[in-house]
Structure 1
Amino acid sequence: MMTRSDIKAALAAGHAAAMAVDGGQNADYIPFLASVPSDLLGIAVVTASGETHTMGDAGYGFAIESISKVFTLALVLERIGAEAVREKIGADPTGLPFNSVMALELHNGKPLSPLVNAGAIASASLAPGDSADASWDAILDMQSRFAGRPIQLSATVNKSEQETNFHNRAIAWLLYSAGSCFCDPVKAVDVYTRQCSTLVTAEDLAVMGATLAAGGVNPRTGEQVIKPEHTAPILAEMMMEGLYTASGDWAYTVGLPAKSGVGGGIMAVVPGVMGIAAFSPPLDTAGNSVRGQAAVAAVAKSLGYNLFTNPLQA
């Protein structure tokens, strides 16, 4: 039986492992991200019953970036169902970088995964709402319900991203030409960019991960945020593509579904047990937090959680 002292010891192990890692650099293609202090490090664990443990800069607000793709996927699953998502977007890793145009070309315009940029733009195009603002409100509401508190858009992050999202605009038009963007592509990119520009903390991400761990029930609010049957497809997508081209290595070495973002966050899920999250801005070449990966991996190892080796018991 896992105890509070076990979790505290695991957080300490995660912090030590992260501090022992060098290298990486902040994302610099989005000006806001380049300006975030690179020495920040926060780690959090939230159990499926709501028990919370944090260490370091776990309360620092940072840009959610690509971790937002998980929650827009959740919204779209609730709207059209798992089979329709698989048919329209796909459920396979691309094997190419998260912003790859080549991946689209190789698969006749089908994104394959909702956790790469092309698939996430397609997901945003399927969000409910006739206008960009209406679709955005639905996405923001989903992020907030997962976090158990109101999540806010950062106008500064959004401005920085909207002014530099030319590559994503090109992806949206390619999707549209192939019939894989399901609204006006300008609207889809606008909404997608906004969803990446909210501010969360490592503690928020741990709550969001714990909500997935608990079958869609937020452990703090008690709300059934999504249908229980929709958690499995989300976790499967996270396992296959959550850390982009490093997803296979992550599954091999850590064995937990996870999602990273270029803002420096990473969220992992131990199904039925807990969410684990970390934040540290410097990234590796795949776009994943260097210290965040080390922290989450060490926490999971300390607690003995790996989907492929052990029964998952709290």
Structure 2
Amino acid sequence: MQAQLEKILDKNRNKIQYGNLPTYIPELTKANKDALGIYISQPDGKEFGAGDYGYKFTIQSISKVITLIMALEDWGPAYIFEKVGMEPTGDAFNSMMKLEIVRPSKPFNPMINAGAIAVTSMIKGNSPEEKIDRIMKFFKLITQNPTLEINKSIYMSEKKTGDRNRAMAYFMKDVGVINEDVEGNLDVYFRQCSIEVTCKDISRIGLFLSNNGILKETGEQLINPEYTKIAKAFMVTCGMYNASGEFAINVGIPAKSGVGGGIMAVVPGRMGIGVVGPSLDEKGNSIAGIGVLKDISKELDLSIF
């Protein structure tokens, strides 16, 4: 496995030059564009890492999967999906166009920014601090990494430049999708996106989802397995933004990307995969990371279809 991973990384490094670092969050332009790494976690305890798997990056939109299952645990599907839809949009992850032109006015799914902001507002807590504390504790538990922290520089950069997210949030407040204080809720959202992780961390999250919410280390069922299945279904249909259909055909496993360069992938019952490659394609996905996952899926016959 180790030799396979290193060979696949080497094959896909040339794709890095065709991508770019995101500029709309200024701090993300400081990332190492040439970084490329992978980590695999399996239920039997075996783990494999290759390339820059120790490289730290912010989790960004990968966090949406976890906040979704937390909100589902807090309220159940009926409440969540009264306010957030279940369909792909075909639009960019930060588009707000359909919020206004489609009725009833609600985000199409929890994997786009509008939907994730709405979901974060539904996580229980008496204050933004209590909410982010719950989120951080859950991330630390499922990654088995008690040292996880929020990257304060990137958090502040997102907060300062997040006017499009702010506009979407205020619109959703106006139409009744969000009931919480907008600025407090956005603060939680910006913080959750700024959690700093490695490939190992997100591969552990992927393993947790592959085990349908059972924590490998203790055997404890932390999340209703039905909610992890919902999350994985969204990952297949919406997890790679408006490239999700192409990814499903070419790779064939549930995955969620983030503009920090990470991709978390899940092979149900078999493994969690974490990939990092900060150089992004035009749709906001790691350009070399997609190539790596495509090759791994083909070589290891991972597609669920």
* Contact 1:132–1:187, Cα closer than 8 Å, also in 2: yes
Moved more, 228-237 or 80-89: 80-89
Of residues 73, 76, 98, the one that matches 2:93 is: 98
- When the two chains are superposed, the root-mean-square deviation of aligned CA atoms in Å is 1.3
Match of 1:3 in 2: none
User: In the comparison of the two structures, how many residue pairs are matched?
Assistant: 302
Please name the residue that 2:140 is paired with.
Answer: 144
Contact 1:148 1:218 in 2 (8 A): no
Q: Tell me which residue corresponds to 2:52.
A: 57
Given that residues 10 and 298 in structure 1 are in contact (C-alpha distance below 8 angstroms), is that contact kept between their aligned partners in structure 2?
Answer: no
Preserved contact between residue 72 and residue 142 of structure 1 (Cα < 8 Å): no
Mapped to 2, the partners of 1:221 and 1:41 lie a distance apart of 31
Q: Give, in angstroms, the shift of residue 295 of structure 1.
A: 1.1
Q: 2:36 aligns with which of 41, 56, 70?
A: 41
SS of the residue corresponding to residue 84 of structure 1 reads helix
Alignment TM-score, normalising by the size of structure 2: 0.95
Match of 2:123 among 113, 127, 135: 127
Equivalent position to 2:6, from 7, 12, 18: 12
The correspondence for 2:238, drawn from 241, 248, 253, is: 241
Q: How far has the Cα of 1:219 moved from its partner? A: 2.4
**Alignment-derived partner of residue 153 in structure 1:** 150
Residues 1:294 and 2:291 are matched in the alignment: yes
Please give the per-residue CA displacement for 1:272-295, whole angstroms capped at 9, x wherever unaligned. Answer: 111112101010010000011111
Distance 2:45 2:85 in 1: 33
- Contact 1:14-1:297 at 8 Å conserved across structures: no
CA contact (8 A) 2:88 2:237 kept: yes
- 1:9 deviates by 4.1
Partner of 1:55: helix, strand, or coil?
strand
Residue identity matched to 1:11: L
CA spacing shift, 1:220–1:59, aligned 2, 3 Å: farther
Q: Could you tell me which of 182, 188, 191 is aligned with 1:191? A: 188
State the alpha-carbon separation in 1 of the partners of residues 215 and 294 from structure 2: 24
State the SS of the aligned residue for 1:163. Answer: helix
Number of the residue aligned with 2:172: 175
Query: In the aligned structure 1, how far is the partner of 2:262 from the partner of 2:287?
Result: 10
8 Å contact kept, 1:58–1:279: yes
Aligned residue in 1 for 2:82: 87
Q: Which residue is 1:311 aligned to? A: none
Q: Deviations over 1:75-115 (max 9, x none)?
A: 10111112322222111111111111102113232102111
CA distance in 2, matches of 1:218, 1:85: 24
Cα deviation code 1:24-63 (max 9, x no counterpart):
0011111111001111111011112332100011111111
> Is the contact between residue 6 and residue 51 of structure 2 (CA under 8 Å) also seen in structure 1?
no
Q: How far 1:224 moved relative to its partner?
A: 2.7
Question: Contact (CA 8 Å) 1:265, 1:277: kept in 2 or not?
Answer: yes
Equivalence for 1:279:
276
Kept in 1: contact 2:71–2:119 (CA 8 A): yes
Given that residues 262 and 287 in structure 1 are in contact (C-alpha distance below 8 angstroms), is that contact kept between their aligned partners in structure 2?
yes
* 2: CA distance, partners of 1:210 / 1:83: 27
Distance of 2:216 and 2:9 partners within structure 1? 25
